[in-house]
Structure 1
């Protein structure tokens, strides 16, 4: 059982200077692929000393939904495809691209091989191995459509654990890219123009959807989602 911890929220823009205490509640534990041995990485969310979730803590509300008996009974499965772009540190330009210029048009890079098509595979493979060591349910990697862009997949994972695992997988990716002197960008459109964006496709199903007659359940869910499409897009944010 891990203890609660604290930090100065005014240093991160998460609390005012006159009342800066923020409390960390441990929520998930992973093996530490960097220090190894008995060391662990702890996924936390953040609260005020009075026990209220701070505004940037989106996990608290999600945990209430995922712990609801109706949701638990449906065994919600998620498979999340996290795309990202590797950037050259000094110029903030995609890895493998000529500085100030552009590579050949998209086409040969998706799942591509070769030094002229795949840029940064050593980072990608190291990340995959580190996630496996950590206990993250990582299920694949691939080169993406834009050169310098990659993807990893987490899942199937049940409920809120899928979000915890994706967040820690992102953290591990940043740490490995840091060692390599490369910047990771999760920007949805890092390069303007006719170059692919980077998103996080989310595959989802419930127990009802996976059973006989599930297709009708899927169609009903899509209809419900369509009624709040703009609200959902607004919640996802711009970047």
Structure 2
């Protein structure tokens, strides 16, 4: 028997954006535990805006686990929050979402690294050089001294944890970075994004750096942060077709308000029609158009096939991937394939 460190991770009740929380339990196992081996665990919901002080018990229900690459015999445990009677807590955005393992998601998570209240590379009381050379940039003047180290280390941690991390790049603004995660189904993809966020936050503690998830942390002529949602279904991958695609785009336009409602708060500050975005009150699609609501890759329309994946560019960096993926699936399911 060996002692295992179980770090339970969950989303609190703060709105409009929940925070990640964690606490540690030590347990003995003969081997790396399975999900079924992990116990439910209580916590004080009155300290996380999930209960009143007079009845504060909430329950953590393990739903996914990952090896912790920073610990010996460490386990990262993604949890749903439940009420004592076993029903999902109102803040539990995972329990009741639409899910389909045949719908695949690739999330592009953008974020800013902040130190002393300003993005890395921003001088005290001023601004760095305008946007232009930072995107996928190289060299100290473009990416600074620790930004790439943080992003690279985070990638390695995610891979060692079994998260399907697919890449990183410096983004358009100074101090802004992006990582990409791919998963099959709403719950799998979103679990991995939330755990990747957790690993990034925990890593940045070592550098005395904060992660800023807000979609427009620097006002003015600077790009905001998105979480572009790439998606495909078995039908889109295998069959597709222009007629079906146009019906699907009609459905996305008809459900535009429902999508914007769950695509992250303050999106009006980011979706202005500038900085490679469509205006929040409009819907458009376009081939290779970074200013469209949904960008269609050239590969999708090649040979007039209209087959492959699509990119919804409206979700922002603060968005809840559970709700984003669920909303995409609901709209797709509203369009018949035959």
- Find out whether 1:52 has 2:87 as its counterpart: yes
Q: Could you tell me how far 1:156 is from its partner in structure 2? A: 4.5
Contact 1:208-1:214 within 8 A present in 2 as well = no
Contact 2:183-2:192 within 8 A present in 1 as well = no
* Greater share of helix: 1
Structure with more relative contact order (C-alpha pairs < 8 Å, separation 6 or more): 1
Root-mean-square deviation (CA, aligned residues, Å) is 1.3
Q: Aligned equivalents of 2:242 and 2:40: distance in 1? A: 44
- Find out whether 1:6 has 2:42 as its counterpart: yes
Q: 1:202 to 1:51 in 2, by over 3 A?
A: same
Contact 2:67-2:75 within 8 A present in 1 as well = yes
Q: Deviations over 1:114-172 (max 9, x none)?
A: 00001311111110000000000000000000010000000143431000000000000
Q: Aligned equivalents of 2:49 and 2:245: distance in 1? A: 41
Structure 2: gaps spanning 5 or more residues: 1-35, 267-338
Q: Which residue of 1 aligns with 2:125?
A: 100
Contact 2:107-2:181 within 8 A present in 1 as well = yes
- Find out whether 1:85 has 2:112 as its counterpart: yes
Q: Aligned equivalents of 1:18 and 1:170: distance in 2? A: 32
Q: Aligned equivalents of 2:176 and 2:240: distance in 1? A: 38
Q: Aligned equivalents of 1:30 and 1:215: distance in 2? A: 40
Q: Which residue of 1 aligns with 2:52?
A: 16
94-103 vs 149-158, which deviates more?
149-158
Task: Give the SS at the match of 1:44.
Answer: strand
**Superposition TM-score, scaled by structure 2 size:** 0.65
- Count of residue correspondences: 228
Contact 2:108-2:228 within 8 A present in 1 as well = yes
Q: Aligned equivalents of 1:154 and 1:204: distance in 2? A: 12
Q: Could you tell me how far 1:176 is from its partner in structure 2? A: 0.7
**Superposition TM-score, scaled by structure 1 size:** 0.91
- The correspondence of residues 1-239 of structure 1 with structure 2, limited to 5 A, is 1=36, 2-35=38-71, 37-62=72-97, 65-66=98-99, 71-72=100-101, 75-88=102-115, 90=116, 92-119=117-144, 120-239=147-266
Q: Could you tell me how far 1:215 is from its partner in structure 2? A: 4.5
Task: Give the SS at the match of 1:105.
Answer: coil
